[in-house]
Amino acid sequence: MISARLKNAEISLIRKLINKAPENAINLGLGEIQFPTPRLLLDHAKEVLRDGRIHYTPNAGLPELCEAIAGYYNSSYTENICVTVGAEEAIFATLFSYLDPGDEVLIADPSYLAYKTIIEIIGGVPVYFDLDPKNEFGLDKNSFLSCISNATKMVILNNPSNPLGISFSEDEIEFIIETCLQKNIIIVVDEVYRELFLQERPDSLFERNGNIIVISGLSKSHCMTGWRIGWVISNKPELIKPIITAHQYICTCAPYLSQKVAIKALSAEGLKANEEIKSKLNFNRDFIIKKIKSFSQNIYILPNTYHPFLFVNLQLNDLLFAERLCASGVIVVPGCAFGNKGKGWLRINYGIETKLLEQGIDLFLRTLIK
C-alpha cells in the first residue's frame, strides 16, 4: 500500500535511540538547544495573539519578514526569498523543485542524516564525498571530484556542519564553487548553524558566484525549533521561484504567529537574545571540555568553531557505546549515524541546562570506565 518512494525511508538512528531510552534519560543527543525561547520573543507572541488575527500569509512569507531576512544578508531585495516551515521544509521544497528521478546529489560523509533520506524519497541518488577524519574532517578534494558524474545535479553543503561543529575553509569553499560552476552543478548550502559561531560571524555563501541556494532559519540561533521558521534565499531570484511553488502546495505558508515572532527575532533586540544564548553555550562548552580533559587527555575532541556540538573520538565502537550509555540514562549520537567517516566518534550536544549537562557527562565518563 505504501508508496515505493517512502518504503525505504527509515526512522533515524537518533530517533531509534531516543525511543529506547529510559523515561528520564538526559538528552545530549538531539540536534536542538534545549533552552527556552527568549522571553522577548514569548512576550511578543502574546501581543500578536491578543490581536487575534491569525491568518494565511503570502506563500513566500510576510513582506516585513522577507525584508528582515533580506536585511540580515545586507540586501533589500525580497523577491528572492521564501519563508518555510523550518529549514527542514526548505530542504525538502528545494530538492523537490530540482531533482528528477536518477539525479545524483553530492553530500558530505559525515553529514546531517536527513539529506540522504530526503534525496531518496524524491527519487534522487545520494553520493557521498569524504571529509577526512585524519585531517580534522577537511574536504578530500580528490574524493569530491571523483563523485561527480554526468548525472550530478546538485551538491548539498552543511556549513557549519552538523555533526562536526566546524565549517569549510575559504580554500575549500572556493574549490567547491569553482568546480560546480564549471560543471553546472547547483549548490544548496544549509547555514542553519551559522549564527552559533564562537569567534566571528562567517560570511554566508549568499553573495558568492554560481547557482547557489542558501537555507537557514531560527531553530538553532534563537532556540525556536518548535516555531518552525526557516527560509531559502538566493542572489538569483529565478532559483527561488519554483521553490515558492513547491512550498505553496506543501503547506501554503509558514505559520502566521511564528512569522510575526521571527520579525522580532531578526531585529536588533532579537539578535541580542542570540548573544545571551551563545554566552550560555560558551559556558557549557568550557565546562564540558574541562570535565572531559581532566578525566582523560586521551579523548580527542575535534576543535569546534560552532555551537552546540562536540565531536569526540574515544577509539571504541561508537554504536555499542551509545547504546550502553543510553541504557544507563544518557543519550548521545554515535558518529556512524552520520556516515562511515563518523565511525568511532560521538556527537555530544551541550545545549542543555548546565546541571543536567553535568549529570549527563558524569554518567558518560563513568560508563567509559565500566
Ligand X SMILES: Cc1ncc(COP(=O)(O)O)c(C=O)c1O
Residues that bind ligand X (CB under 6 A): 31, 86-88, 112, 158, 162, 190, 192, 217, 219, 225, 230
Task: Give, in order, the Cα–Cα distances in Å from 98 to each of 61, 64, 105, 234, 288.
Answer: 21, 28, 11, 14, 42
**Rounded distance, CA 318 to CA 13, Å?**
12
Beta-sheet pairing, 212-217 with 230-233? antiparallel
CB 156 within 8 A of CB 105: yes
Between residues 35 and 295, which has the closer beta carbon with respect to ligand X?
35
CB of 51 to ligand X, least distance (A): 26
CB of 162 to ligand X, least distance (A): 4
CB of 8 to ligand X, least distance (A): 21
Between residues 309 and 321, which has the closer beta carbon with respect to ligand X?
309
223: closest CA among 191, 260, 270, 256?
Answer: 270
**Rounded distance, CA 204 to CA 75, Å?**
12
Between residues 133 and 230, which has the closer beta carbon with respect to ligand X?
230
CB 288 within 8 A of CB 361: yes
CB of 298 to ligand X, least distance (A): 29
The DSSP result for 203-267, as a single string, is PPGGGSSSSEEEEEESTTTTT-GGG--EEEE-SSHHHHHHHHHHHHHHHSSS-HHHHHHHHHHTS
Between residues 224 and 319, which has the closer beta carbon with respect to ligand X?
224
Between residues 190 and 195, which has the closer beta carbon with respect to ligand X?
190
78: closest CA among 292, 234, 258?
Answer: 234
CB of 251 to ligand X, least distance (A): 12
CB of 84 to ligand X, least distance (A): 8
Between residues 196 and 330, which has the closer beta carbon with respect to ligand X?
196
